[in-house]
A and B are shown apart, each in its own frame.
Chain A
Amino acid sequence: MARSAPHLPYRRPGFWRRLRRGNLSDAQLGVLLLLPALLTLAAVMLYPMVSVVWQSLHFNRLNQPFRGTPFIGVQNFRHMLGGEGLIWSPSKLLWLRLLGMASLAPLLWAARRRRLGPVWAAFLAAAVLVVFAGLLGLHPAEGGRWGDARFWNSFSITLLIIVVSVAGSFLVGLPLALLANVPSRLRWLGRVSLLLPWAMPRVFAGLTFAWLFQGQYGVVNDVLARLGIHGPLWLARVAPAIAAVNITIVWKTSSFVGLILLAGLQSIDESLYEAAVVDGASAWQRFWRITLPLLRPSIAVALIFRTLTAIQTFDIPFAMTRGGPGRSLETLGAYIYNSTLALNIGYAGALSVVLFVLSLTITVFYLRWIYTE
């Protein structure tokens, strides 16, 4: 009997050999394929997140290296949000209280009617308060008594831009999406005109609208003059500048909202409309009963992304007025940028943390809204 070769235990080929032969297990291949993307995101997104929190707790002015970078705890935030006594004139306090009650009453009503969760109500109340106070020049830093006046100004103007431009771009974007879905020979041109503002850099949009809103030779004032209205010097006064910047942001971003909603519209089953027509529903009813409810997920997505970009508003005000007149249009993003430019790294980090917390809060609220519906 011939002796058989000694039985060798089966050895799996090594990792690299299996990689070359393409015989990796799912988990191994998955890790390998996911690694580049995850590493990039970790380096560019995650590391900054951690690092920014860390540096917000330090004193760090690059132009004063002799002072070092000592750990100062929450001093940056105390400087920003205020610590010294709050001094307001009685009349301003009265105004703020009236405003507060005016904004709280409907929210209280909605909360009691269970139209609104208590957390939502509190959040909305706070937002409305700050926006209205900022609008009337009543923000807490009036007179520089309460924290960093520049921070409160940028915070309130950012909140104002969020509220106005998100609502505006939704109200403009929805009709745009509906129109882009209308069958017509000009539909392609409609879609091009929907895509152009989306693709246009924000800086270009800002500069273009700065030219349109130019006080003497701009188109807007020319059209207004033809209608018999004397247009203001849009970018030289605070209130018109805020309006002009918001209009520009709405123009630029409504196309993004429109595109997301158009995508949602295209995924709605055509037969639903046919059935509704058979049942005798009017166009208005079809819109309210079919389109809007089925569009809900798209609306949520559009609003989330729109709000998150609105928090970071920087380019358009910067291009239009350089944050002016004065510093009235300096958004939170612009303030972070200016602090960095002024080499006050620690404070810029603290501002970034505030921005991040703001966007995190809003995201959480949106996600709760989506998941509860």
Chain B
Amino acid sequence: MTSAAPVPARRPRRPRRGFGYLAARLGLLLMIVNGLFPAVWLLLTSLKREDELTHIPITYLPDHATVLNYLEVFRQNPFARFLLNSAVVSVVATLVCVLFAALAGYALARLQLRGRRAILTAIVMTSMFPALVMLVPLYRLFVGVQVPGLSGLFGYLHAMGWGFMPQAVTTPNLLNTYWALIIPYVALSLPITTLILTSFFQLIPEDLEAAATVDGATRVGALFRVVAPLSAPGMVTAGIIAFVNSWNEFLLALTFNTAMNMRTVPVGITLYQGQFAFPWAVISAAITIGIVPLVLLILFFQQRIISGLTAGGVKG
């Protein structure tokens, strides 16, 4: 019945925003709170004084913001050393892992190999082996492996207590060294990184490589000059995932590196709680420091990580 009246021309209205729109926005907000609240709460806790934490009702924003907890983190335990250990182990493991995975991924994506699908499947299947099962055999393996070269100068230094070996073990072995963590971390991240890089190499057009070969490059030359630069994004993604895996690993680090100066951050953080006392402000400060590198990675590379998991997840 309103059709008769001529409606004056109006600017087209925004698309109707109904219940679905509202629900999606609300959900997104909830999701952000869910994901970020624990981290925000850690930050707030780390800025409070210890006595403020035991107020009832609890305060949400710190009354007297203080950075003393952060200083306390470094005073109570060699936290800088934990950070260094974690950084060294994670970075080396990441680099080695990406290198190995890139080589394997190239072979699996490009070369005419018999049973390459079977090899890829086997590599991915190894990620289904529980890492826990590795614990005892690797422990025995590492105790048994004598570090080459330790018999000489290093052995002397070690006997004097100056070596990079700790005091806890009497015979020089791989326990309480960076290698004890680097080797398993490389293996732990290899399946997923190989998967990601294989699917990445498959995306690079083969013609480019053929063109390079026509222009006189050798096979290996083409690999390094053409394929490697093009697959840099994939390698970054794989590297981030390997880094996060290595930075987060707890069980092996807890078992293999028991000397104070060889602990990594996740293990080190569990040292701040006493038998009965939980100095939550200090623990929060330590955790906050520990997740800063991860937060930076996420902020800079969020799209990369998601696309990397796309490649790795769906084609598996």
Dominant secondary structure at the B interface = helix
Q: At the interface, yes or no: A192 with Cβ under 8 Å from chain B?
A: yes
Please give me the residue from chain B that is nearest to A355 by CB atom.
Answer: B130
Stretch at the interface among A92-100, A116-124, A130-138, A297-305: A297-305
Contacts of A314 in B (CB 8 A): 132, 250-251
Q: Is the pair A26, B31 in contact by a Cβ cutoff of 8 Å?
A: no
Q: At the interface, yes or no: B162 with Cβ under 8 Å from chain A?
A: no
- Contact pattern, B 98-137, Cβ under 8 Å of A = 1, otherwise 0: 0111011011100111101001000100111111111111
Q: Which residue of B32, B128, B255, B290 contacts A340 across the interface (Cβ within 8 Å)? A: B255
- Contact pattern, A 254-284, Cβ under 8 Å of B = 1, otherwise 0: 0100011011101100000000000000010
Q: Is the pair A40, B45 in contact by a Cβ cutoff of 8 Å?
A: no
* CB proximity of A1 to chain B, nearest CB, Å: 39
Contacts of A47 in B (CB 8 A): 137, 141
Q: At the interface, yes or no: B149 with Cβ under 8 Å from chain A?
A: no
Query: How far apart are the CA atoms of A333 and B305 in the complex, in Å?
Result: 29
Stretch at the interface among B22-30, B74-82, B151-159, B202-210: B22-30
Q: Is the pair A182, B28 in contact by a Cβ cutoff of 8 Å?
A: yes
Q: At the interface, yes or no: B190 with Cβ under 8 Å from chain A?
A: yes
- Asked, given contacts A40-B190, A201-B250, A222-B57, whether A356 binds B129 with beta carbons under 8 Å apart, the answer is yes
Stretch at the interface among A78-86, A101-109, A208-216: A208-216
Query: How far apart are the CA atoms of A28 and B254 in the complex, in Å?
Result: 40
Q: Is the pair B283, A49 in contact by a Cβ cutoff of 8 Å?
A: no
A168-197, CB < 8 A from B: 175-176, 179-180, 182, 184, 186-197
Q: Is the pair B111, A29 in contact by a Cβ cutoff of 8 Å?
A: yes
Q: Is the pair A337, B251 in contact by a Cβ cutoff of 8 Å?
A: yes
Contacts of A222 in B (CB 8 A): 57-58
- Asked, given contacts A23-B218, A336-B135, whether A212 binds B34 with beta carbons under 8 Å apart, the answer is no
- Asked, given contacts A22-B221, A40-B183, whether A191 binds B34 with beta carbons under 8 Å apart, the answer is no
Q: At the interface, yes or no: A167 with Cβ under 8 Å from chain B?
A: no
* CB proximity of A188 to chain B, nearest CB, Å: 7
* CB proximity of B219 to chain A, nearest CB, Å: 5
Contacts of B141 in A (CB 8 A): 47-48, 51
- Asked, given contacts A36-B104, A186-B28, A193-B32, whether A48 binds B134 with beta carbons under 8 Å apart, the answer is yes
Q: Is the pair B316, A301 in contact by a Cβ cutoff of 8 Å?
A: yes
Q: Is the pair B183, A55 in contact by a Cβ cutoff of 8 Å?
A: no
- Asked, given contacts A196-B35, A345-B140, whether A33 binds B284 with beta carbons under 8 Å apart, the answer is no
Q: Is the pair B36, A193 in contact by a Cβ cutoff of 8 Å?
A: yes
Q: Is the pair A217, B56 in contact by a Cβ cutoff of 8 Å?
A: yes
Q: At the interface, yes or no: B92 with Cβ under 8 Å from chain A?
A: no
- Asked, given contacts A217-B53, A308-B128, A359-B128, whether A301 binds B41 with beta carbons under 8 Å apart, the answer is no
* CB proximity of B241 to chain A, nearest CB, Å: 10
Please give me the residue from chain A that is nearest to B53 by CB atom.
Answer: A217
Q: At the interface, yes or no: B232 with Cβ under 8 Å from chain A?
A: no
Please give me the residue from chain A that is nearest to B36 by CB atom.
Answer: A193
Q: Is the pair A24, B219 in contact by a Cβ cutoff of 8 Å?
A: yes
* CB proximity of B201 to chain A, nearest CB, Å: 11
- Asked, given contacts A41-B126, A263-B306, whether A52 binds B38 with beta carbons under 8 Å apart, the answer is no
Q: Which residue of A24, A40, A193 contacts B186 across the interface (Cβ within 8 Å)? A: A40
Contacts of B42 in A (CB 8 A): 208, 211
Q: Is the pair B138, A44 in contact by a Cβ cutoff of 8 Å?
A: yes
Q: Is the pair B314, A30 in contact by a Cβ cutoff of 8 Å?
A: no
Q: Is the pair B137, A298 in contact by a Cβ cutoff of 8 Å?
A: no
Contacts of A360 in B (CB 8 A): 128
- Contact pattern, B 35-68, Cβ under 8 Å of A = 1, otherwise 0: 1101101100100000001111110000000000
Please give me the residue from chain B that is nearest to A346 by CB atom.
Answer: B136
- Asked, given contacts A33-B103, A41-B190, A195-B305, whether A190 binds B250 with beta carbons under 8 Å apart, the answer is no
Q: At the interface, yes or no: B70 with Cβ under 8 Å from chain A?
A: no
Q: Is the pair B28, A27 in contact by a Cβ cutoff of 8 Å?
A: no
Q: Which residue of B29, B58, B218, B314 contacts A21 across the interface (Cβ within 8 Å)? A: B218
Q: At the interface, yes or no: A369 with Cβ under 8 Å from chain B?
A: no
Q: At the interface, yes or no: B167 with Cβ under 8 Å from chain A?
A: no
Q: Which residue of A179, A202, A225, A353 contacts B250 across the interface (Cβ within 8 Å)? A: A202
Q: Is the pair A190, B132 in contact by a Cβ cutoff of 8 Å?
A: no
A35-91, CB < 8 A from B: 36-38, 40-41, 43-49, 51-52, 55
The 7 nearest A-B residue pairs measured at CB: A193-B35, A22-B218, A44-B187, A48-B137, A263-B310, A33-B107, A201-B248
Interface residues of A (CB under 8 A from B): 21-24, 26-27, 29-30, 33-34, 36-38, 40-41, 43-49, 51-52, 55, 175-176, 179-180, 182, 184, 186-205, 207-212, 214, 216-219, 222, 225, 251, 255, 259-260, 262-264, 266-267, 283, 297-298, 301-302, 304-305, 308, 311-312, 314-315, 319, 333, 336-337, 340, 345, 348-349, 352-353, 355-356, 359-360, 363
Show 26 A/B contacts (Cβ-Cβ < 8 Å), sorted by A.
A36-B103, A37-B100, A40-B190, A41-B191, A45-B126, A48-B134, A190-B31, A194-B31, A199-B297, A200-B248, A201-B248, A203-B250, A210-B278, A214-B278, A218-B58, A222-B58, A225-B57, A259-B309, A263-B310, A264-B313, A266-B306, A305-B127, A314-B250, A333-B251, A340-B136, A355-B133
